Structure 1
Amino acid sequence: MAQALGNGGLADQMARLTANLRTLRPDLAWDRRAQVRGQQGLGYGEAAGALAEIGDLDELLDQLGQEHPGATLDDVDVDAVERILGRGAAGDVRRLQELERELRRQGWLTRGGDGLTLSPKALRRLGGTALRRVFASLETGRRGQHDLRDAGAAGEITGASRPWQHGDEQPIDVVRTVANAVRRGTASGSSAVSLAVDDFEVVETERRASAAVALCVDLSYSMVAEDRWGPMKQTALALSHLVATKFPQDALQIIGFGRYATRLTAEELAGVEPDYVQGTNLQHALQLAGRHLRKHSGSEPVVLVVTDGEPTAHLEEGGEAVFFWPPLSETVQATVAEVDALSRYGATLNLFMLGEDEGLRRFVDAVARRCGGRVFTPDTEDLGSYVVNDYIRARRGRVSR
């Protein structure tokens, strides 16, 4: 020690300091030696310089990490970046600083306790852009607005009926239809009853003016690994923007699910990171969806599920998630129980299956048969078109089963 430091008195002070530190932190592995490489030893001056450089690197890492409250890119010491990482890296930091300042000035980014986030203005722009892309891929006849001549199959029967029109999904008024055929036959002098297109009438029901929609999106790591993360977010943002701008009377709840499910705002979804913990807890997601629907009991209940894997997790009575692969029978039963609860409530439940997982295919087909829902298998780039179009269709009222 004395030889390395070049001063016996300094070596004694270092020894006392080491002893004091051992006393204060006995939990540390003081006797464990670090593995070092190199052919030459360091003198005191060189060691001090190396320690100073390590300190500079540590401080720079903290500045670049932006993890402390109130951190901004202006906190980064550009001179230190140039000294340690080179002129090119320093130029990159300066450009990033200018970009952040400009985005904040224009109102696209905000700084809060959680760091740099997208502003409401930015979210509206992202949602609008995503929605325009969705509508661009839809057929012209399937775009946008409400079809107000829809009698609303899921509402209360009014007792009235009207002539059937092409595209109607309302139940046929059998009595009025047959009566029309009989009157037409009698007027023509025929005793036989034969149906013509003009004889058909449909039952009119009181149309629900709003919809309660739960969009359940898979946040498991496989969504990232298979390049489905971006399209999933774009789909949710597009639907959120559509509801906010065209159907503000509707209540949309985004629900993300991994090992657990959680309610998300559009802003939270935009910043959410993949769940690296194993588990696809669709049961919990459907449970939260049911709660959302019941909070809006006067609205048309709609549940849309986007996933790329079969359920592998469920909640126990105490609220703890249980994960297992291959899926436990208890997981499947718990998930199906939530499907049945939604079906009894009268909700439309449609599933959007991403990928070609055979286990998932068997599961979603069984669920669709059980609840009368539909299964879609869109290409990833078409996911938004499928979900938005199905929302518009489903909120008008379910086809009578």
Structure 2
Amino acid sequence: MKGFRFASYVPNIKGAADFDQLFDIFQQLLLIFAGDVAAALDYMNELDRQYNLTSDAYAMADFIQDLKDKGYIQETEGEGQGIQMTAKSEKSIRKRSLEEIFGKLKRSKSAGNHRSTFSGQGGEKTGDLRSFRFGDNLEQINLTESLKNAQVNSGLGESFQLTEKDLEVVETETSLNTSTVLMIDVSHSMILYGEDRITPAKKVALAMAELIKTRYPKDTLDILVFGNDAWTIQLKDIPYLEVGPYHTNTVAGLELAMDLLRRRKNRNKQIFMITDGKPTCLKEGINYYKNAFGLDRKIVNKTLTIAAQARRMNIPITTFMIASDPYLKQFVRSFTEVNKGRAYYSNLDGLGGFVLEDFERNRRRNVR
């Protein structure tokens, strides 16, 4: 009788020892090891020993030399002698994150345009036609349809004439720029229980930054991290981001996000918050009030007050909660209700898709 024969799984790595495939693994490891090139290469060497990633024709030393020759890594001099990423490598990681998370997104022909529920004179043409109204731009007139209407209404020959009632114009969508603040939780819980939650968050931040730079160049994106305190980080800092021995001061993060958006002149403003834990910390003067056990009423009330302030400033907050505890979900529901924002309870695999969906949805409406 025929049956099944079981054996140890051996990955099919035939032909995998080329630069592009090894580079893909290398970029993943750079995010996991917070930009530590030496640690990433050490881990790749271990993978190579276990799974024979390379061959005699193209070994790890050849890959490392190619990384140097292509300008992705460079050696440092002085007391901190070692090896580090270059700006080219950082840019490549952003592009890879965009392709991985937002790969299905088609690039718009008109960068920086955002759909709205009303029509305007500037922006992308929708293809819809309507009758001419006083104040319409002459460039909006559809000449072919207008002449056709004139022919039907007045006929050809000496009686032919083009009047205002014959004119048809093409609708356009108003160009709306958006200012976004992305908040990333860097409290210790982001790496607790053997689950790496900070790496997916970094991928989302990199992908969003690359998306805005390439598709919506007139938009602004500020990125901040929050633990015991909150501070902004630059685009180049994201791959090196690490979790610290922090509690979760959500209030400090929201206050900084709102301060950043006050300085932006765009009408559309929004906050995206990626977190896996409850607020557990407040700063009072130079001291910290901390309580990691349950939901502290004092901390929760202050957090809800900030959510209400954001609502009054017409700033919706979208919370991406990487947790499944019922009492935490109840807190997020209360927080979302006060702000009139949205909340998603996402696992790590679905995080990027949820962010994309909401990010694009806000572009299709006028955030008020």
The equivalent position to 2:306 in structure 1, one of 328, 333, 338, is 338
1:238 aligned onto 2:213 = no
1:223 aligned onto 2:187 = no
Amino acid at match of 2:190: M
Residue 296 of structure 1, CA deviation: 0.4
Partner in structure 2 of residue 275 of structure 1: 244
**SS of equivalent to 2:93:** helix
1:251 aligned onto 2:220 = yes
Amino acid at match of 2:95: G
For residues 369 and 242 of structure 1, the distance between their equivalents in structure 2, rounded to whole angstroms, comes to: 29
CA distance 1:290–1:148, change in 2 (3 Å) = closer
Partner in structure 2 of residue 135 of structure 1: 102
Equivalent residue runs for 1:377-396 within 5 Å: 377-396=345-364
1:289 aligned onto 2:257 = yes
Residue 247 of structure 1, CA deviation: 1.0
Determine if contact 2:112/2:215 at 8 Å carries over to the other structure.
no
Amino acid at match of 1:252: L
Determine if contact 2:269/2:314 at 8 Å carries over to the other structure.
yes
Aligned residue-pair number: 257
Q: TM-score, normalised to structure 1's length?
A: 0.57
Equivalent residue runs for 1:1-400 within 5 Å: 102-110=66-74, 111=76, 116-136=83-103, 145=108, 150-152=115-117, 207=174, 209-225=176-192, 226-277=195-246, 279-316=247-284, 318-326=285-293, 327-398=295-366
Amino acid at match of 1:232: A
- Structure 2 unmatched ranges of 5 or more: 1-36, 39-58, 122-127, 129-170
Cα-to-partner distance string for 1:55-110 (whole Å, 9 max, x where unaligned) = xxxxxxxxxxxxxxxxx98xxxxxxxxxxxxxxxxxxxxx9887655434322135
**SS of equivalent to 1:129:** helix
CA distance 1:112–1:281, change in 2 (3 Å) = farther
Q: TM-score, normalised to structure 2's length?
A: 0.61
Please give the root-mean-square deviation of Cα atoms over the aligned residues, in Å.
3.4
For residues 67 and 350 of structure 2, the distance between their equivalents in structure 1, rounded to whole angstroms, comes to: 30
Partner in structure 2 of residue 88 of structure 1: none
Determine if contact 1:348/1:394 at 8 Å carries over to the other structure.
no
For residues 269 and 398 of structure 1, the distance between their equivalents in structure 2, rounded to whole angstroms, comes to: 29
Amino acid at match of 1:108: Y
Determine if contact 1:208/1:299 at 8 Å carries over to the other structure.
no
**Larger proportion of helix:** 1
Residue 340 of structure 1, CA deviation: 1.6
**SS of equivalent to 2:335:** helix
For residues 118 and 255 of structure 1, the distance between their equivalents in structure 2, rounded to whole angstroms, comes to: 22
Cα-to-partner distance string for 1:267-293 (whole Å, 9 max, x where unaligned) = 21211221123x111111111110111
**SS of equivalent to 2:350:** helix
**SS of equivalent to 1:216:** strand
CA distance 1:360–1:128, change in 2 (3 Å) = same
Partner in structure 2 of residue 169 of structure 1: none
Residue 386 of structure 1, CA deviation: 1.1
Amino acid at match of 2:312: R
CA distance 1:339–1:301, change in 2 (3 Å) = same
For residues 355 and 329 of structure 2, the distance between their equivalents in structure 1, rounded to whole angstroms, comes to: 18
State the identity %. Answer: 26
- Structure 1 unmatched ranges of 5 or more: 1-71, 74-94, 159-164, 166-203
CA distance 1:378–1:370, change in 2 (3 Å) = same
For residues 61 and 248 of structure 2, the distance between their equivalents in structure 1, rounded to whole angstroms, comes to: 39
Partner in structure 2 of residue 192 of structure 1: none
Determine if contact 1:151/1:205 at 8 Å carries over to the other structure.
no
Determine if contact 1:256/1:263 at 8 Å carries over to the other structure.
yes
CA distance 1:399–1:262, change in 2 (3 Å) = closer
Determine if contact 2:184/2:275 at 8 Å carries over to the other structure.
yes
Partner in structure 1 of residue 14 of structure 2: none
For residues 379 and 325 of structure 1, the distance between their equivalents in structure 2, rounded to whole angstroms, comes to: 22
Determine if contact 2:112/2:219 at 8 Å carries over to the other structure.
no
Amino acid at match of 2:183: C
For residues 238 and 210 of structure 1, the distance between their equivalents in structure 2, rounded to whole angstroms, comes to: 19
For residues 227 and 237 of structure 2, the distance between their equivalents in structure 1, rounded to whole angstroms, comes to: 15
CA distance 1:343–1:228, change in 2 (3 Å) = same
Amino acid at match of 2:184: V
Amino acid at match of 2:72: W
